[in-house]
Every structure is written in structure tokens, then in C-alpha cells.
Structure 1
């Protein structure tokens, strides 16, 4: 959730990154086609943490998001666990599981979908939370896709309960905090880290709660490398740990260059500092001067 930048980025990378890695996939075929797919009932595995302890034990495959195997479901569902933990609506888990792990009944051929009112209530309460972290409510969860309330859809647990959107303000990622530094502190920060790169962002996605950032190859300028191999840089992938739990307003312009510093941890390049590179700004004149004089 990197502020307004993600809304723009989402529009650019929705097919490959945004919906598949964060939002759990897309309708790979129409709902009509889905109804005619052979229904397969599978036991909900204990590893499907999003849907543990729900009211039924068997799920339908393919599910309502087009996933045809348990492996696909597991890969995509975990990205939604943080939203459930935000407790933006008491039926968030119920709604998501009706899509990822829809109830499977041998005597019913068609999938049992969430009622439109269930979707609308969850959206009303949770969309502001998602937007605070840089995510608009996805098209694949547009409530008009789901049936008006009837006896064959998944209803709200308590239709009379009104839930208001949470006013929780997300915390700022540690790497994105605006810290004033003098020349000595800048050099000290550079020396503590394994890499310092000037980049522009190509793609942003979320995996298991972490932010995955792929820079534009041609925009990359290397200022420092320590223990980072050519293989690491062949296709640079940077990680912002727990990025799904915090905001990064510092990175709010898709066209802007950024100075990112970090460390190589467990084979991954993990960001510890993000600064928007603004040409002519006093701070970056100092950073440029410090980089040229760097002696660790």
C-alpha cells in the first residue's frame, strides 16, 4: 500500500500482478460458463488459513474466482488475511470465503454466491480501509455481479446490524518515514546498508503481506553494492517488509525517481529507506555529495 501511486500502478499491472497476487485471481471465464463446469467438492484444507473455522467443511472447485485447484486457492487467499484482521466488518471473512471456498453441496449444481447485500455491506465498511492502503475496491468484487437477496445466496449474518467504516489511520512504513539527516548521518546510513539504488518503479504487488517492487531496468543507477551479485541485479526485485500493513506516501508518484537503500537478507533485497529523488532539492544535493565522498 504505497499511497496514491498504487492506484495508478494497479491500472497498469492489474492482469498480471494486482489481481492475481493481491486480489486472488479473476473470473477466467464468465459466470455462465462457470455454472457448467463440472462441480467438484473438496475438503477445505487446514492450510487455507483465510477460511479456517467456517460453518462448512467442503468447498466447490472451480471457485467463484476461477481457481480450479486447491494450490491456486492457497496461493491467492493468504493475501486477504490482513483485511480480515482489520475487522472492518464482521462478515468480511464470510464474504471472502464464499468466493475463495464456496460451499459445495452434491444436490446443487450451481455455485451458491454471496448475496448482493452481503457484498455491499462489506464493501461499505472495508473499501475505505483498502483505499487507505492504496487499493481501490476491485472490479471482480463489484457487488452488481452478485444476486439480489434470495433463498439461494449467502446472506449477512445480521441484516439489521449497521456497520460504519473504520476510521483507523494506517501507520507509516519505517522505511518511508521522513527523517531529516545531516551529511554524516546520510553517509552512516549508506554504510549500514548493502545497496543503494536510484530507481523508477515498474511494478508493485503484494505477496504474503510484503510489498514486491520491480524497478524499470533502464532507470536503475547503482550507487553501492555489498554482497549483492550480478544474478541479484539481473532482474532486480526489491522487498518492503510488511508493506500490506503500512503506508508509504513517500512513494506516491509513478513517474518519480527514488533512492532506495537496504540490505540483503535471506537472499532478498530488503528496503530499509525510501526517498523521493527531487532534483535540485538541498537534501539530495547533500546525498549526491555524500555518495561521491563515500568512505565506509
Structure 2
């Protein structure tokens, strides 16, 4: 499983994502890094580190990624952690590793200060632990230098600003108050409606790819979807890396998902966490049983 499988149901695949740091720069051996380093412009599509206060990054970076494609793929996996806002300096810390600042007159890499790592760990490790996964060993804060003039400190005194803007909620995940007629109308506008649990979440080209647990699926509607589609159901949340879906914060939850078939893909237009016994879902169940489009 690729490290790109990280979401805030990201805990589904966190162990695979920890592999992103397996090639981490050998702290204490800067001569190895100096011989190979080169400055590269930070690309606009490096969304994790978009619009930070420096323009060039080192390759290889402090996680051992040697190509920009590798950086882009692995960095995308951590965007949901930043969106979780577990600490205001999460983005600064991650970017200091994925896109370390590159200065022409400085050969030695600028690492995050140990205090920055410890501060972010205090805020974000409990979020990761809530899903049953520890802080990655390769991000052990003891690996980073004590605060000095050549490391990036916490509290906004560095190169990468904290993320303060509230992330956009994905359209499919926005709460909508609907009566029975509107629920039926919404069902009729869509090509499929599933009640399901999530098996796996990953990212591809900025979209969120969702694989349901096969045994958990209850199919309410499949219009224009073949048996083959049904056997290999993969759902897509368009531009999932550009927005948040707090509805999908519990890997053990059951969801009602509706959507349309677009260019051969099953695209989600509505997603609700299914809560047994809740009045809204009793109404939805009644509406589905008497569905006539």
C-alpha cells in the first residue's frame, strides 16, 4: 500500500505512511547530504507547502526523497493532518522536512528545532493515537537539534507560517436539512445509493478514492451501473485534497453515500454518517422503501 493512503480516516493506512520517512537524512552526517543536494523551486502543486515564505527547497529532502514526484506523492498524504488543525505549526514542521529551505550561501541543511517537533508532537500525537497509531519513530524529536540559529523554531518565528484559514468543506459532505420529498428527489437525481463501511481511503490526482467493505454494502439504487462495477466498487470524492470531510472521521462508522456515474467512475455527491435510531435516518429508510422515481 502506498504512503498516499493517509486521510483523516487516514489512520486506516498510517503504518504504510510511516514508510515515507524510511530514508530519512542521516542526522550527524551532513557531508553525505552536501555532496548530493540541489536547490529546486517549490512547485505550485506541492499543496502541503504551497505559498510558504521561501521559494526554493532542497533535494534530496530531509526524508530521503530524491525526486520531486516522490515528494509530491508522499507530501499529499499529510495534508489531512494539517487540516485537522491539531497544532498551528504542523504545516511548518512537515514542510521543514518535505521541502527544507535551500539557501545558496548555506551548505548545511536547516532542520526543524527539537522544540518545534516536540510542540507539534504534543498536539498531533494524541490525534494519531486516537486511531491506535503512535508518533512515527523516524520523527523522534531527539533526532532534531536543540534550538539554535540554524534550526526552525516553533511559535511562528521561522520560515513557514502557521495555517490559519478554515479549510473548505467538500460539497458532498455539507449538512443539508431535507424533508422526505427532498430525500426522495435527491435519491432520484443520483445513479447509486449505498449504505456501507469504508475499507480503504487513498488519494489520486487530487481526488479521494474510497473502497467500501464488500460485506458492509447495502445497495438501495444502482442505475446504469453494471455487475462488474458492483463487484469492484470504487467511489471518488472529487478534489478531496482541496477540502475536508469531517463526516468521514470514523473508520468504524457506517455511511449513506449517493452519487453519479461520470466517465465510468462512481462520483460521490452526498455523504452522511448513518446513525442508527436517529430520526433523520428513520425518515431516509422510509423514503428509500417507497422510492418511485
Give the TM-score normalised by the residue count of structure 1. 0.67
Measure, in 1, the Cα distance between the counterparts of 2:25 and 2:261. 44
Deviation at 1:195, TM superposition (A): 1.0
> 1:196/1:165 Cα in 2 relative to 1: closer, same or farther (>3 Å)?
closer
1:262 touches 1:270 (CA, 8 Å); kept in 2?
yes
> 1:14/1:232 Cα in 2 relative to 1: closer, same or farther (>3 Å)?
same
Which range is displaced more, 209-218 or 109-118? 109-118
Q: Give the one of 220, 238, 245 matched to 2:217.
A: 220
> 1:126/1:79 Cα in 2 relative to 1: closer, same or farther (>3 Å)?
farther
Counterpart mapping for 1:35-184 below 5 A: 35=29, 39-45=35-41, 47=43, 49=46, 50=49, 55=54, 57=56, 59-61=58-60, 63-78=61-76, 83=82, 95-102=93-100, 111-120=109-118, 123=120, 139=136, 141=139, 143-155=141-153, 159=157, 173-184=170-181
Residue deviations 1:66-113 (CA, integer Å, cap 9, x gap): 3232220122335667859x9x86x77664443123356899987542
> 1:189/1:57 Cα in 2 relative to 1: closer, same or farther (>3 Å)?
closer
Query: 1:187 maps to which residue?
Result: 184
Measure, in 1, the Cα distance between the counterparts of 2:231 and 2:28. 40
Deviation at 1:138, TM superposition (A): 5.5
1:127 touches 1:137 (CA, 8 Å); kept in 2?
no
> 1:142/1:207 Cα in 2 relative to 1: closer, same or farther (>3 Å)?
farther
Measure, in 2, the Cα distance between the counterparts of 1:76 and 1:262. 29
Measure, in 2, the Cα distance between the counterparts of 1:42 and 1:282. 59
Measure, in 2, the Cα distance between the counterparts of 1:174 and 1:53. 27
Aligned residue pairs total 271
Deviation at 1:225, TM superposition (A): 1.8
> 1:156/1:184 Cα in 2 relative to 1: closer, same or farther (>3 Å)?
closer
Q: Which runs of 5+ in 1 are unaligned?
A: 1-5
Deviation at 1:14, TM superposition (A): 0.7
Which range is displaced more, 150-159 or 227-236? 150-159
Deviation at 1:189, TM superposition (A): 0.8
Residue deviations 1:39-89 (CA, integer Å, cap 9, x gap): 52334145354367865746232x2223232220122335667859x9x86
Query: 1:261 maps to which residue?
Result: 258
> 1:233/1:124 Cα in 2 relative to 1: closer, same or farther (>3 Å)?
same
> 1:267/1:47 Cα in 2 relative to 1: closer, same or farther (>3 Å)?
farther
Q: Give the one of 269, 273, 277 matched to 1:272.
A: 269
Could you say what the CA RMSD is over the residues aligned between the two structures, in angstroms?
4.6
> 1:44/1:93 Cα in 2 relative to 1: closer, same or farther (>3 Å)?
farther
> 1:34/1:186 Cα in 2 relative to 1: closer, same or farther (>3 Å)?
farther
Query: 1:199 maps to which residue?
Result: 196
1:202 touches 1:215 (CA, 8 Å); kept in 2?
yes
Deviation at 1:205, TM superposition (A): 4.0
Q: Which runs of 5+ in 2 are unaligned?
A: 1-6
